[in-house]
Amino acid sequence: MEAAQDDAIAKVIAPIVDAQPDDTFTLTFEDELPEPTTPTNNVNDKSGTQRHVLSLIIDDVGYNMQAVRRLIALPYTVAVSVLPDSPHAKEAAQMAYQHGLPVMLHMPMETTNPKYQKKMEAFYLHTTMSKSVFTQVFEDALAKVPHASGVNNHMGSALTADTKSMQWLMELCQKHGLFFIDSRTSAKSVAANIAQDAHIPWNARDIFLDNSVQEKDLQHAWDSAMSCIKRNDYCIMLAHPHPESITFLEQQTLNPQTFVNIQSILR
């Protein structure tokens, strides 16, 4: 049963581009294979006090409660981002919150990737929705994830590139006092710019850990994250509750102080 649930977790991101750990890491996107690009918009520049820390968000939470228990037991802080229509969404959110972990709504959004378009259900936000339907879908999703303090996008390469949709989304974040993390599934995303203009606390991911759960690929992504924080104030990494990913995280020996709550590095 758990294997089937694991298979149901969408894998929607591009592989990390091959590079040496000390090279400049390259951002990758859901819809831009085989030639991913690195956005140059200045909202992605790092600034402030040099802290060299890592913030880790675990997406797609809500399918496997054993995975949640393992995440809670990690010797450092992570945020859990819960899919609203996952079978254990409420239970996972409550358990994480009770153990002091930040809870986020992992909001499903429209993709341009043909491979995943057929998997989008009614609970995804679409660019063709009226504002009233858009609002209701979001409100229904948020109600399924108690204690959510922020939002990030699940898929969303089409929606995050749509200015109107992002303006509506930021209005809803403002209404509910939510921060926003751009998962950056497309280089065309306008989400960060609009969050900034709307004065919504926000940030954007730098690295995906586990598009591949092969140990060498996990290690490569991890090394990219270490290279990222060596050069910048912080690095935001997204991962998923695959057994291999959690085992890998359990094996890391970084000082727990290297990891920070995502809310401490919002812009």
> What pLDDT is recorded for position 204?
97
> What pLDDT is recorded for position 81?
98
- Do residues 77 and 261 touch, judged by C-beta distance below 8 A? yes
- Do residues 170 and 200 touch, judged by C-beta distance below 8 A? yes
> What pLDDT is recorded for position 46?
46
In the numeric block, which tokens belong to residue 230?
């060596």
Is the pLDDT score of 19 beyond 60? no
By DSSP bridging, strand 79-82 and strand 179-182 are unpaired
* pLDDT band, residue 30 (cuts 50/70/90): low
Q: 236 vs 57, 79, 122, 209, CA distance in Å?
A: 8, 11, 30, 10
The DSSP secondary-structure symbol of 125 reads B
> What pLDDT is recorded for position 119?
82
In the numeric block, which tokens belong to residue 4?
């089937």
Q: How many CB atoms lie within 10 A of CB 4?
A: 8
Distance CA 208, CA 28 (A): 8
- Overall average pLDDT of the 143-168 stretch: 97
Q: What percent of the chain has pLDDT over 70?
A: 81
Residue 69, SS3?
Answer: helix
In the numeric block, which tokens belong to residue 61?
């939470």
In the numeric block, which tokens belong to residue 155?
């898929």
Residue range 2-7+55-265, CATH number: 3.20.20.370
Is the pLDDT score of 36 beyond 70? no
Cis amide leading into 21 (omega within 30):
no
Is the pLDDT score of 11 beyond 60? no
Question: Per-residue pLDDT tens for 119-145?
Answer: 888 899 999 999 999 999 999 999 999
Find, among 143, 142, 136, the residue nearest to 122 by Cα. 136
Q: How many CB atoms lie within 10 A of CB 121?
A: 7
For 189-199, b where at least 16 C-beta lie within 10 A, e where not — what string?
A: bbbbbbbeebe
Domain map of the chain by residue range? 2-7+55-265
Q: Which residue reads 């879908």 in tokens?
A: 137
Strands, sheet with 202-204, edge to edge from the N-terminal-most edge strand = 202-204, 179-182, 148-155, 103-109, 79-82, 53-61, 234-239, 207-208
Distance CA 21, CA 220 (A): 7
